[in-house]
């Protein structure tokens, strides 16, 4: 089959990035089709997550470009592979990142399977990343050139097979260039606002939405000396470093400064809060991650000097691998890190190449008494672990 005969299926979301992706491929003379993914069954018009509107925009773009348009409902797969895991992580006291699981299980798995059933040889998405085929045939995942839009953090859990069939035409562009191209092409979504947040929540109140699926027990909010300063509505509603939603203020004997969630204690159902965004209870120099994935490379060796991100758009943080085995990796950072959050992902880089990463299990942030010594010992012991 010649290159002109092969078919690329674009994951067309109805947004400017995926629409410009389809247009660029058409400009290159490639044979292109488009598929729209519906990942959530809407039951609330106020959700702000309108798959119907997005599908209509995607279809309009496909008609303008003269390419075949397909729509598939992946709501069942999303529920089973992403949303149920999201709920389980919340119940365990962690803060999950469903977008990473969605990419691995839906956009680069279920979508790929349906694309192949329709005769596609590869897929293309509007992610701001790049790929490079190495001399040994492995596919490297590289940062997008637009540092502010680089999305390698969200794709670090992909496999070699998934990357091999994927293309990322926007990886060499910045967002302003993409907007300009969309305008020049006359795409009807050129000025459409970028989607943000988790689609199944949309514009709805997060706490009210989660309360439909999980029960939570209110409890005390305490300061670093364990003095009660407020009430929380359930630990599942809070994440480390959170400022908004604590509803603490005007307390006698305390300065008029914001409060930050610093520690969740599931055993006592307490939420510890502090008035310093960089309070010692929020700062870590080490973390341990599990559920690891390496993209065409072996796990980094103990002593390796690399960089990592513990959240999207964070600048690279210099770090050293201090322990690793098949199931876990421990990193030590050159500088203390704020609000290292279990359930979130740590993604590891060697220059522009994303090596992979894993899910944060714990850090060496001090725990409020009396469990401080126990928590410290757990991570200090990793010095004795060898590769």
Q: What is the mean pLDDT of the chain?
A: 91
**Cα separation, 58 vs 66, whole angstroms:** 12
Burial code (b: 16+ CB inside 10 Å, e: under 16) for 39-56 equals bbebeeeebebbbeebbe
pLDDT of 200 reads 67
Residue 102 falls in the annotated catalytic set:
yes
From 195, 86, 104, select the one nearest 154 (Cα to Cα).
Answer: 104
Check 49, 199, 263, 319 and give the catalytic one: 199
Q: What's the whole-number mean pLDDT along residues 59-63? A: 98
Kindly give the residue spans of alpha helices, DSSP state H, lying in the chain. 16-27, 51-65, 75-78, 84-91, 98-102, 111-117, 152-155, 160-164, 175-184, 206-211, 372-380
pLDDT of 371 reads 39
**Cα separation, 84 vs 96, whole angstroms:** 11
Does the structure show a pLDDT above 60 at 49?
no
pLDDT tens by residue, 236-283: 999 999 999 999 988 999 999 999 999 999 999 999 999 999 999 999
Residue 238 near residue 245, CB atoms below 8 Å: yes
Does the structure show a pLDDT above 60 at 178?
yes
Annotate 129-185 with DSSP letters as a single string. EEEEE-TTS-EEEEE-S-TTT--HHHHTT--HHHHHTEE-GGGGS-HHHHHHHHHHT
Does the structure show a pLDDT above 50 at 311?
yes
Does the structure show a pLDDT above 90 at 4?
no
Q: What's the whole-number mean pLDDT along residues 212-216? A: 93
- For 94, the token pair is 């962690």
* Dihedral-angle region of residue 296 (phi above 0 means left; psi in -120 to 50 means alpha; beta otherwise): left
Q: What's the whole-number mean pLDDT along residues 69-75? A: 96
CA distances in angstroms from 97 to 22, 103, 239, listed in the order given: 27, 11, 12
Under DSSP, is residue 334 helix (H, G, I), strand (E, B) or coil?
strand
pLDDT of 375 reads 34
**Cα separation, 380 vs 77, whole angstroms:** 40
Q: What's the whole-number mean pLDDT along residues 198-222? A: 84
pLDDT band for position 207 (cuts 50, 70, 90): confident
**Cα separation, 241 vs 153, whole angstroms:** 20
pLDDT of 64 reads 98
pLDDT band for position 196 (cuts 50, 70, 90): confident
Check 102, 263, 319, 354 and give the catalytic one: 102
CA distances in angstroms from 278 to 262, 341, 360, listed in the order given: 10, 14, 20
Rounded to an integer, what is the distance from CA 258 to the centroid of its chain?
27
β-bridge mates for residue 31, sequence order: 7
CA distances in angstroms from 325 to 274, 289, 294, 347, 387, listed in the order given: 35, 11, 13, 17, 6
pLDDT of 370 reads 56
What structural domains and CATH numbers belong to the chain?
Answer: 7-127+151-184 (3.40.50.620), 216-274 (2.30.30.280), 280-384 (2.40.30.10)
Query: Between β-strands 353-363 and 317-324, what pairing exists: parallel, antiparallel or unpaired?
Result: unpaired
Higher per-residue pLDDT: 369 or 364:
364
Under DSSP, is residue 90 helix (H, G, I), strand (E, B) or coil?
helix
Contacts of 336 (CB under 8 A, 6+ apart): 283, 284, 285
Percent of the chain predicted with pLDDT > 70: 90
Does the structure show a pLDDT above 80 at 232?
yes
pLDDT tens by residue, 105-132: 999 999 999 999 999 999 999 999 999 9
β-bridge mates for residue 124, sequence order: 10, 167
pTM of the entire structure? 0.91
Query: Could you give phi then psi for residue 235, rounded to 5 degrees?
Result: -65, -20
From 362, 352, 314, select the one nearest 335 (Cα to Cα).
Answer: 314
């Amino acid at each position: 089959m010649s290159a002109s005969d092969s078919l690329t299926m674009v994951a067309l979301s109805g947004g400017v990035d995926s629409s410009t992706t389809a247009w660029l491929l058409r400009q290159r003379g490639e044979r292109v089709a488009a598929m729209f993914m519906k990942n959530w069954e809407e039951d609330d018009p106020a959700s702000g997550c309108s798959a119907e509107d997005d599908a209509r925009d995607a279809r309009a773009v496909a008609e303008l470009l003269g390419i075949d348009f397909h729509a598939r409902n992946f709501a069942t797969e999303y529920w089973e592979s992403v949303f149920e895991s999201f709920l389980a992580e919340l119940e365990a006291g962690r803060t999950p990142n469903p977008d990473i699981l969605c990419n691995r299980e839906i956009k680069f798995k279920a979508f790929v399977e349906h694309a192949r059933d329709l005769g596609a040889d590869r897929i293309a998405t509007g992610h701001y990343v790049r790929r490079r085929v190495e001399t040994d045939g492995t596919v490297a995942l590289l940062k997008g050139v637009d540092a502010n839009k680089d999305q390698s953090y969200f794709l670090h859990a992909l496999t070699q097979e998934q990357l091999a069939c994927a293309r990322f035409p926007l990886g060499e562009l910045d967002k302003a260039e993409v907007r300009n191209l969309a305008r020049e092409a006359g795409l009807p979504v050129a000025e459409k606002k970028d989607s943000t947040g988790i689609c199944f929540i949309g514009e709805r109140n997060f706490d009210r939405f989660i309360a439909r699926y999980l029960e939570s027990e209110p409890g005390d909010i305490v300061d670093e000396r364990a003095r009660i300063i407020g009430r929380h509505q359930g630990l599942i509603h809070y994440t480390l470093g959170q400022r908004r939603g604590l509803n603490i203020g005007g307390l006698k004997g305390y300065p008029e400064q914001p409060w930050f969630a610093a520690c969740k204690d599931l055993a006592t159902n307490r939420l510890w809060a502090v008035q310093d965004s960089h309070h010692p209870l929020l700062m870590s120099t080490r973390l341990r991650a599990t559920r690891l994935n390496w993209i065409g490379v072996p796990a980094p060796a103990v002593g390796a000097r690399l960089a990592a991100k513990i959240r999207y758009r964070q600048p690279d943080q210099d770090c050293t691998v201090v322990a690793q085995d098949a199931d876990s990796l421990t990193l030590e950072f050159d500088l203390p890190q704020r609000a290292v959050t279990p359930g979130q992902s740590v993604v590891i880089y060697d220059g522009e190449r994303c090596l992979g990463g894993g899910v944060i299990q714990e850090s060496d942030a001090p725990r409020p008494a009396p469990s401080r010594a126990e928590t410290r010992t757990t991570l200090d012991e990793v010095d004795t672990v060898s590769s």
